[in-house]
Structure 1
């Protein structure tokens, strides 16, 4: 539960990134996340996740990567609601990591990603490099305890996808990015980048 006074709601904005930026290397201990979506429809989702320190070799299958996380892995179950204006209901509880791992091994719709955490300006950012069928997708995300307004957007953020449901993990679990990446790039080239303009004043780092 959030400690910001907003209860089980999270406030975030998400951006498409062409490739993992060099600043990701400043995270000395990236995290490996393996998560299964047991349900996902109309913005509602139920997620089981196991995460821990990322191994050096990230080329293995999801089940093998769960094994590689070792005894320090953390398991969680999360229920999510639809996102509206950068706000989304999210209630999470901890699970036994071994039980969570066994559920993931039996799941059909799984997402695997390496997460890098960096501090840029006034905000902490995470950079997610997706693996498997969702490679080579990279997304940047910033989260706050309240609405993400007046944001300084780093130069590596190509276009905002906060309101594009295709970039939600539950969608990616069912429709891997690799199967529609070419179409997305064509659309992006045709229309140009977009950024949400209803959350205060966007500030852009030198591009």
Structure 2
């Protein structure tokens, strides 16, 4: 099994995605390590906890190693207490467009006003339908990575 994540990120230019959202989940996450070579994230998504390790992205920023495992919410809460400063909170909406699912994150707190859509692909050149609410592509722009938003929030740009 491959642990490569192929993902593209976009800004969102309207709230029209909410109309077709199939899920809405609150996420709280922090980073034990924000080194671009290897980030270690702890997340509480709804009533589940996760720990994730991500490697450095390729030149385009579309592909990188990712390993994730589920942990208890108690463990995740305890680990978030150990995280670097800058805990992120967001509401994630899942929107199915054609054969793909867009994950649309509305950030809260110090990142309020930022809305990013992500789509995971099977290969870098895979075709996908772009809904009208999808804006500028920001794949590979590190300032939009969650690990960087935890250090330099959107409201400080």
Same-fold status (TM-score > 0.5): yes
Partner of 2:141: 164
Q: Is 107-116 or 131-140 further displaced after alignment? A: 107-116
1:54-104 residue CA offsets vs partner (Å, 9 max, x unmatched): xxxxxxxxxxxxxxxxxxx11111100112231111001111211111222
**Pairing partner for 1:33 from 12, 27, 35:** 27
**1:183 — aligned with what?**
none
1:111 match: 88
- Aligned counterparts of 2:128 and 2:21: Cα–Cα separation in 1: 22
Distance 2:68 2:17 in 1: 29
> Does structure 2 retain, via aligned residues, the 8 Å contact 1:16–1:157?
yes
Q: Secondary structure at the match of 2:79?
A: helix
Aligned residue runs from structure 1 range 126-137, under 5 A = 126-137=103-114
Any unmatched runs of 5+ in structure 1? Answer: 53-72, 181-207
Return the alpha-carbon distance in structure 1 between the equivalents of residues 29 and 69 of structure 2. Answer: 14
Which structure shows the higher helix fraction? Answer: 1
The answer to whether residue 53 in structure 2 is matched with residue 79 in structure 1 is yes
Is 1:144 paired with 2:128? no
Superposition misfits of 4+ residues, deviation over 3 angstroms: none
Distance in 2, Cα, partners of 1:78 & 1:39: 11
CA distance in 1, matches of 2:57, 2:143: 12
Contact 1:24 1:127 in 2 (8 A): no
Structure with a larger share of its residues in strand: 2
Q: How many residues align?
A: 154
* 2:10 equivalent in structure 1: 15
CA displacement, residues 19-71 of structure 1 (integer Å, 9 cap, x when unaligned): 4x22323335401111101111234200011111xxxxxxxxxxxxxxxxxxx
CA distance 1:32–1:88, shift in 2 (3 Å): same
Conserved 8 A contact 1:11-1:148: no
RMSD (Å) for aligned C-alpha atoms: 1.7
* Alignment deviations for residues 136-167 of structure 1 (CA, whole Å, 9 cap, x no partner): 10001111233352233222222101110110
Tell me the distance in 1 between the aligned counterparts of 2:119 and 2:5: 11
| More divergent stretch after superposition (101-110 vs 171-180) | 101-110
